[in-house]
Amino acid sequence: MSSLKIGFSRVLITPPMGVSMAGYFVERSADGVLDDLEANVVTALDGNKKAVVISVDFLHMNTPLNQRYVDKICRDHGLDPASVLIHCTHTHTGPQDDVNKGGDGAYLEYLGRKLSDAVGFALLEAKPVIQIGTGMEEAKNVGFIRRFRMKNGKIRTNPGIGNPDILAPIGVLDENARIARICREDGKELVLVNFGVHPDTVGGTKITADYPRFVRETVEAVLAVHCVFFNGAQGDVNHVNVQAKGGDLNGLELESFDDVARGYEHAKHMGRKIAAAAIGIYGKVNFSEDKTISYHQITTRVDAQKATPEQRKQAHLYHDLHVAGKDSEIPFKGMELTTVVAEAGRIVRLENGPSYFPLTISGVRLGPVDFVGIPGEPFAGIGRGIREQSGSPCAFVCCLTNGSAGYFPMREAYDEGGYEARSSQFSPDVADTLIETGVQVLRHIKT
């Protein structure tokens, strides 16, 4: 007979003012707080077997920092490293994760202690599981494909609302919100939500968890549960509706540095719509008697994307201008400027190697709930490929989990161009490799 227990905890991780903020190619320091950042923890125990899934309101965690946190959690609580997932929701209005890029070393040390504390709290809070159900419901017009073919044949990311030169979007959305409903004895239910779209909705210099906060708040207010949000395959999906008109523009203002409209009120709108989908399917989930815990990791490798000598020469010119604060001398504006700066940075970094990169795909299964953690930003097609090829339509495919290695575009994006493929450090094989490995991980944790 199963003795599965699941626990929950939540801790605040809002940084001090003045910290360097991550998320853009412009320097920002935090000068206020719109809402607190959180770490939300779900623990599972069955006898001596334990697993932990953590969702952190952070842009990303570089792999060495993530490993440091995993090691501490495992030392403090007797866990297998393969059983720990640390997922970042990807808010663009949180602290920098790297001291070499201006990150606050004291805060990052404090964060590691807070995450381990939160795991301890959740282990103590664990309650016997009655049943677990999964389901999915559409959340329409929340995320939008952000890559477009233009009339001149070029590919652009976020070409601007109402741009008359747009020919067609490139990519297929996944507008399903996936949920898991965990019913426990003598404890609040947990509702876990997985949906893929960039939390790049607010901008500015005020700390905020962006729309994931409002998913959690809305679900909790309506259902009287604990809610945890996990971002999905969102590498080519954000909040920008290029066909917006009328009320679609409420709560949005144009940001000058990249020509993208952002706003705190729009983040609230997104959170409410995703929450509405979760609430809508909550009463109709498919309950399962499965109360097992399993976990597995596979480390694969992907070749680096290398540049030609001509590309390297141009990259050094743009990179040096950007580092010197002379973006005005680079002959591009808005998102096109961001693209060439990111591409130049990638080429300069990889000029002397490495020739390939290891990527670890992580899986944790809590009863019928399957998590597949990808250490970067996969295109929506990768999430779709993993689910379809594994036969797991409700699997939580999570971006930026146990590391942050950049964008993972689909193969065809490399021929098409655009910000994500031009900035990615990986060869065009990366999507195929991630799908294949993700399917292997899923099959392993389900057996």
- Residue 83: domain span: 5-134+178-232+244-297+359-415+431-446
For the segment 40-56, what is each residue's pLDDT rounded down to a tens digit? 999 999 988 999 999 99
Q: Do 213 and 331 fall into the same domain?
A: no
The answer to whether the CB of 312 falls within 8 A of the CB of 211 is no
pLDDT over 70 at 2, yes or no: no
The answer to whether the CB of 278 falls within 8 A of the CB of 271 is no
Q: Is residue 156 part of a domain?
A: no
Q: How far apart are CA 115 and CA 73, in angstroms?
A: 8
pLDDT over 60 at 371, yes or no: yes
Matching residue, tokens 């602290």: 95
pLDDT over 50 at 367, yes or no: yes
- pLDDT class for 375, splitting at 50, 70, 90? very high
- Cis peptide leading into 354, omega within 30 of 0? yes
Q: How far apart are CA 364 and CA 33, in angstroms?
A: 33
Segment 112-134 mean pLDDT: 98
Q: How far apart are CA 414 and CA 20, in angstroms?
A: 32
Give me the number of domains the chain comprises.
2
Q: Do 30 and 105 fall into the same domain?
A: yes
> What is residue 421's three-state secondary structure?
helix
Q: Name the nearest CA neighbour of 410 among 441, 387, 437, 433.
A: 433
- Give the pLDDT of residue 1: 44
Q: Is residue 267 part of a domain?
A: yes
Q: Do 226 and 336 fall into the same domain?
A: no
Q: Do 228 and 324 fall into the same domain?
A: no
Structure tokens at 274: 């995703």
Q: Do 96 and 215 fall into the same domain?
A: yes
- Give the pLDDT of residue 255: 84
Q: Do 265 and 320 fall into the same domain?
A: no
Alpha carbons within 13 angstroms on the beta-carbon side of residue 438 total 32
| Cα–Cα distances in angstroms (integers) from residue 12 to residues 108, 204, 339, 438, in the given order | 14, 21, 34, 31
pLDDT over 50 at 154, yes or no: yes
Q: Evaluate the CA torsion angle 337, 341, 347, 351 in order and state its sign.
A: positive
Long-range contacts of 245-254 (CB under 8 A, 24+ apart): 245/162, 249/161
Q: Is residue 172 part of a domain?
A: no
The answer to whether the CB of 155 falls within 8 A of the CB of 170 is yes
Q: Is residue 109 part of a domain?
A: yes
Which segments of 324-393 does DSSP mark as H helices, in order? 334-349, 380-390
Count Cβ neighbours within 10 Å for each residue of 143-175 and write b for 16 or more, e otherwise: bbbbbbbeeeeebbbbbbbeeeebeebbbebbb
Q: Name the nearest CA neighbour of 413 among 400, 397, 426.
A: 426
Q: How far apart are CA 408 and CA 273, in angstroms?
A: 27
**Complete edge-to-edge strand list for the sheet that includes strand 147-150:** 155-157, 147-150, 166-169
For the segment 278-287, what is each residue's pLDDT rounded down to a tens digit? 999 999 999 9
Q: Do 262 and 349 fall into the same domain?
A: no
> What is residue 335's three-state secondary structure?
helix
Q: How far apart are CA 286 and CA 272, in angstroms?
A: 23
Q: How far apart are CA 235 and CA 406, in angstroms?
A: 9
Q: Is residue 407 part of a domain?
A: yes
Q: Do 75 and 204 fall into the same domain?
A: yes
Q: Is residue 214 part of a domain?
A: yes
pLDDT over 90 at 336, yes or no: no
The proportion of the chain whose per-residue pLDDT surpasses 70, expressed as a percent, equals: 100
Structure tokens at 5: 């227990």
Q: Do 343 and 365 fall into the same domain?
A: no
For the segment 124-151, what is each residue's pLDDT rounded down to a tens digit? 999 999 999 999 999 999 999 999 999 9
Q: What does pTM read for this prediction? A: 0.95
pLDDT over 80 at 256, yes or no: no
Q: Name the nearest CA neighbour of 340 among 92, 148, 157.
A: 157
- Name the DSSP letter for residue 343: H
Q: Please compute Rg for the chain using Cα positions.
A: 21
Q: Do 292 and 345 fall into the same domain?
A: no
What do you get for the CA distance between the two ends of the chain, in Å? 18
